[in-house]
């Protein structure tokens, strides 16, 4: 730990869920940490806000299922430390064309990882999943241990509990305007300048704007998501107590049982400017969801009751970036966690810095050099 009162061990830029849990982990390890956020907290401008996020092992790639082993354990550890419930098991229903490559890859991953599952034949579906219709030719499998993470609650836990138990400094309403690399990095915000031995950039949709002063730009694409909340025709019909699971309608959207009135769902929309997110008014994704709800979830009103906005930050290969700056080894970059519906929240404890972390997955996939081979076209 630094003995210079003006020098931090690490500055973390961006107080979304990735940045907040990175600062949480560093402070827990005794590092003098500063967490910077450009907006007043809490806010709904980025990608970490909202009631819930999926947590699951149902991925086409088996290494994500392996990562989730550690993530489930770490979420339980955070719950115990903070004394707050962050995870609720609901099960995850994955549906899709029975012989499609993508559906079979998810099924194979669940079986390979020995994840508790229930496979549902068309004849069994209605008795197990009430108020749902399985399309002809589709198959269904349930990831039994999957569920929801309480997103807003988790973010607050990382930000507030970290300071109360492990220390650390949080400054909101301070936009980073310059980073001067070197053995000691100087970070200048709209309010003042700070110095640190290292910097972690987890700025979500604003990653490239923060990186600009370091001479690096990443092939990131920011898209707006319309998150729809659907009203039940009969209250409680789709409650988790009535065995309604989290849904994953492969390959295009997700939907979860209500923790408050209304069932949220969403799917990727068009590219957007993060500073002008709401200027993007395309609602074709809402129309797709409306048609799906009308056809497959008859117990919901077909018109969404509420439509909110969120943003995804995606990479060309849909894997996230977790690497050091190619010219400045004391600047660490975490970005693109939203790609391929890998919603940020479920991975954040396992992607934050940890000692003795068992990395039995292909870490090279998350390094910057892969974009030489997978640029956006």
State the DSSP string of 304-345: -SEEEEEEEEE-TTSPPEEEE-SS-TTEEEEE-TTGGG--HH
How far is the C-alpha of 169 from the C-alpha of 332, rounded, in Å?
Answer: 19
Does residue 290 belong to any structural domain of this protein? yes
Q: What is the pLDDT of residues 142-174, one digit of tens each?
A: 999 998 889 889 988 888 877 777 888 999 999
Here the tokens at position 304 are 């969404």
Does residue 173 belong to any structural domain of this protein? no
Q: The pTM is what? A: 0.85
95 is in which domain, residue-wise?
88-147+220-313
Show Cβ contacts of residue 327 under 8 Å, excluding neighbours closer than 6 positions: 181, 214, 215, 216
Does residue 119 belong to any structural domain of this protein? yes
Does residue 126 belong to any structural domain of this protein? yes
Q: Angle at Cα 329 formed by Cα 341 and Cα 62, nearest 5°?
A: 30
How far is the C-alpha of 89 from the C-alpha of 53, rounded, in Å?
Answer: 12
How far is the C-alpha of 40 from the C-alpha of 174, rounded, in Å?
Answer: 9
Does residue 229 belong to any structural domain of this protein? yes
Q: What is the pLDDT of residues 17-46, one digit of tens each?
A: 899 999 988 998 999 999 999 999 988 888
How far is the C-alpha of 245 from the C-alpha of 120, rounded, in Å?
Answer: 13
Does residue 115 belong to any structural domain of this protein? yes
In this prediction, residue 341 carries a pLDDT of: 39
CA distances from 104 to 55, 169, 282, 363 (A): 20, 46, 32, 24
Provide the 3-class DSSP secondary structure of residue 208: helix
How far is the C-alpha of 346 from the C-alpha of 354, rounded, in Å?
Answer: 16
CA 203 distance to own-chain centroid: 13
Does residue 175 belong to any structural domain of this protein? no
Does residue 283 belong to any structural domain of this protein? yes
CATH number at residue 141: 3.30.9.10
Q: What is the pLDDT of residues 175-220, one digit of tens each?
A: 999 999 999 999 999 999 999 999 999 999 999 999 999 999 999 9
| Total number of domains in the chain | 1
Confidence tier at 255 by pLDDT (50, 70, 90): low
């Amino acid at each position: 730990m630094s003995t210079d009162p003006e020098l931090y061990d690490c500055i973390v830029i961006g107080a979304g869920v990735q940045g907040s849990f990175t600062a949480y982990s560093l402070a827990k390890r005794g590092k003098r940490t500063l967490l910077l956020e450009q907006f007043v907290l809490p806010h709904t401008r980025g990608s970490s806000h909202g009631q819930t996020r999926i947590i699951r092992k149902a991925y086409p790639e088996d290494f994500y299922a392996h990562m989730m082993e550690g993530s489930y354990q770490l979420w339980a550890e955070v719950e115990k430390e903070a004394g707050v419930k962050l995870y609720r098991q609901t099960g995850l229903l994955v549906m899709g064309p029975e012989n499609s490559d993508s559906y079979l890859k998810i099924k194979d991953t669940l079986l390979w990882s020995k994840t508790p599952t229930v496979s549902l034949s068309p004849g069994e579906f209605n008795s197990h999943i009430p108020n749902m219709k399985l399309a002809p030719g589709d198959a269904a499998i349930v990831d039994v241990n999957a569920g929801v993470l309480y997103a807003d609650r988790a973010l607050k836990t990382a930000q507030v509990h970290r300071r109360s138990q492990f220390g650390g400094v949080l400054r909101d309403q301070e936009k980073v305007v310059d980073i001067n690399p070197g053995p000691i990095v100087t970070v200048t915000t709209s309010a003042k300048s700070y110095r640190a031995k290292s910097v972690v950039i987890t700025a979500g949709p604003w990653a490239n704007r923060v990186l600009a002063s370091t001479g690096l730009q990443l092939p990131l694409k920011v898209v707006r998501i319309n998150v729809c909340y659907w009203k039940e025709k009969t209250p409680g019909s789709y409650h988790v107590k009535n065995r309604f699971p989290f849904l994953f309608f492969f390959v295009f959207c997700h939907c979860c049982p209500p923790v408050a009135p209304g069932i949220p769902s969403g799917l990727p929309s068009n590219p957007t400017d993060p500073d002008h997110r709401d200027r993007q008014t395309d609602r074709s994704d809402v129309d797709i969801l409306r048609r799906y709800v009308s056809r497959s979830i008859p117990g919901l009103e077909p018109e969404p009751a509420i439509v909110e906005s969120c943003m995804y930050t995606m990479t060309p290969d849909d894997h996230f970036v977790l690497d050091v700056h190619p010219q400045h080894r004391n600047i660490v970059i975490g970005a693109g966690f939203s790609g391929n519906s890998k919603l940020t929240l479920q991975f954040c404890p396992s992607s934050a810095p940890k000692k003795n972390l068992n990395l039995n997955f292909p870490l090279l996939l998350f390094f910057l050099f892969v974009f030489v081979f997978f640029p956006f076209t």
